[in-house]
Amino acid sequence: MTDLQLGRAVGLPASPDEAELDRVPNPHPDVNYVARFTAPEFTSLCPVTGQPDFAHLVIDYVPDLWLVESKSLKLYLGAFRNHGAFHEDCTVAIGKRLADTLKPRWLRIGGYWYPRGGIPIDVFFQIGELPKGVWAPDQGVAPYRGRG
């Protein structure tokens, strides 16, 4: 674990592809449990206009042998700030990268995107089946209601 970004000064990666996503051993691989990360101020750029897009991301996973190290996740997500991609691409790419890195028993990500052009887009990605008997709470993000 000496190569971790944790505990040392690390700048924001120039792009998601350049970002390192660190993992650490799961201290409880004998137990099924859900770990949740919430990024309520996620940003990326529209690949057509270059304007910023904003989302509330909720990442839930049941780890197997590995946990994602939170500082590296924060830097990885921050690398999207200057990255041009559609909402669907960002959300699914994050889910796939986490799944490839961690090999979790189950993972889901909800991307709750704020409206652009008057239409909010919610994107959901999941791998695996939630293990029997594991409680995965609702992601807690209300559907977009505008000023209603």
87 annotated as ligand-binding: yes
Q: Where are the alpha helices (DSSP H) in 18-132?
A: 70-78, 87-102
15 annotated as ligand-binding: no
28 annotated as ligand-binding: no
69 annotated as ligand-binding: yes
DSSP E strands, the chain: 23-25, 35-45, 52-62, 66-68, 106-113, 122-127
41 annotated as ligand-binding: no
3, 30, 53, 122: which one is catalytic?
A: 53
122 flagged as catalytic: no
Nearest one of 19, 40, 29, 34 to 128, comparing CA atoms: 34
Neighbours of 118 (CB within 10 A): 6
46 flagged as catalytic: yes
Neighbours of 13 (CB within 10 A): 19
46, 64, 89, 122: which one is catalytic?
A: 46
Residues at the annotated binding site for substrate?
Answer: 68-70, 87-88
Residues at the annotated binding site?
Answer: 68-70, 87-88
Catalytic residue set:
46, 53
